[in-house]
Amino acid sequence: MARPKVYVTRIIPEPGLSILKECCDVEVHPSKELPPSRQELLEKVRDKDGLLCLLTDKIDREVFDAAPNLKVVSTYSVGFDHIDVAEATRRGIYVTHTPGVLTDAVAEFTVGLILAVTRRIVEADKLIRSGGWDKPWHPYFLTGPELKGKTIGLIGLGRIGVAVAKRLSSFDVRILYYDIERRWDVETVLNIQYADIDTILRESDIVSLHVPLTKDTYHLINEERLRKMKKTAYLINTARGAVVDTEALVKALKEGWIAGAALDVFEQEPLPPSHPLTRFENVVLTPHIASATIEARQRMAELAAKNLVAVLKGEMPPALVNKEVLSVRPLEKVKMI
Ligand code: GLV
């Protein structure tokens, strides 16, 4: 049998590429940082059986039309909002992702953002560098709220939400959560309480978002909901930029409806330095790096490669997104290796 042909849209960490190369002919876009152009992507997938992409590659009908042999799209990310999954399923294309392996990295980062924005760590660092530490120690300098005793609202309680709750429990806070599924098991173990979104917004001192981006979560945090938050509350987003209506958030910050925000994801990425969000001292901005531990990025590469190879071997991949595809094109019909 001929070896399957695979296209990888960026140089991903080892052992990802080695796993692919063991059994596939692999073509890698020769950059660690930049994606292929749209035209290049459409040309490269033409004869490919597998595609390993990143969250910056839009994988839609046009890509599927250009790739008549495509059997699997394996994304190097847990989120898959950049892929038209329904269309892939209709065409019998397997879609896989990398859940679990970045959970701890994102949860650790979320706690970091909460502390950074409430305790004004970034603002303090900038102040020293710009010569603003010009008075001796005094009681009012760069104060912020203590976490202990506060209410933290988690919107979305999947793997990452649970991992955040687990870490925050040690801060002696009250934790509320909302999810489309009630998580009775986690409620008891972690001593957290279920609440609807509006209750969370009204009662929480910190609201942290952990939902995937879908048509139901697009602009979930809009003007009406931002107005429900406490004036002293902070919004944390490590999920997807479009879960928050950015324009409404800018208005909320400008008019003081909330105390601040820490954002790792944006509707527009990269966020230009001229963006209104960059003008607020009470906002911490990071460039979509919540999963950026060396360990997580390696494990993501390994899992993305294993997912892709499994499908081409006709085996169940470790993390399949579209289970319905199994009946559209059963695994034995995909088997090439
Ligand atoms: C990162 O945002 C991911 O979805 O893995």
Q: What pLDDT, on a 0 to 100 scale, did the predictor assign at position 95?
A: 99
Q: What pLDDT, on a 0 to 100 scale, did the predictor assign at position 255?
A: 98
Decide: 286 in ligand 1 pocket, CB within 6 A. no
Decide: 77 in ligand 1 pocket, CB within 6 A. yes
Place domain 103-285 in its CATH homologous superfamily.
NAD(P)-binding Rossmann-like Domain (3.40.50.720)
Q: Is 269 a catalytic residue?
A: yes
Low-confidence ranges of the chain (pLDDT < 70): none
Decide: 246 in ligand 1 pocket, CB within 6 A. no
Distance from C-alpha of 279 to C-alpha of 296, rounded to nearest angstrom: 32
Ligand 1 centroid–CA 2 distance in Å is: 33
Q: What pLDDT, on a 0 to 100 scale, did the predictor assign at position 86?
A: 98
> Which of 201, 206, 202 has its CA nearest to residue 144?
206
Q: Is 90 a catalytic residue?
A: no
Contact 208, 112 (CB under 8 A): no
Q: What pLDDT, on a 0 to 100 scale, did the predictor assign at position 109?
A: 99
Q: What pLDDT, on a 0 to 100 scale, did the predictor assign at position 2?
A: 87
pTM of the predicted protein model? 0.97
Distance from C-alpha of 193 to C-alpha of 152, rounded to nearest angstrom: 10
Domain with CATH 3.40.50.720 in the chain: 5-101+294-333, 103-285
Distance from C-alpha of 63 to C-alpha of 42, rounded to nearest angstrom: 6
Q: Which CATH number applies to 5-101+294-333: 3.40.50.720, 3.30.2290.10, 3.65.10.10, 3.30.300.30?
A: 3.40.50.720
Catalytic residue among 120, 288, 297, 299: 288
The pLDDT tens digits of the residues spanning 7-42 come to 999 999 999 999 999 999 999 999 999 999 999 999
Q: What pLDDT, on a 0 to 100 scale, did the predictor assign at position 112?
A: 98
For residue 168, what are the contacts with CB-CB under 8 A and spacing of at least 6? 111, 114, 147, 152, 175
Mutating to test ligand 1, I would choose from 56, 57, 75, 102 the residue with most ligand atoms within 8 A of its C-beta, which is: 102
Ligand 1 centroid–CA 133 distance in Å is: 37
Hey, whose CA ends up nearest to atom 5 of ligand 1?
77
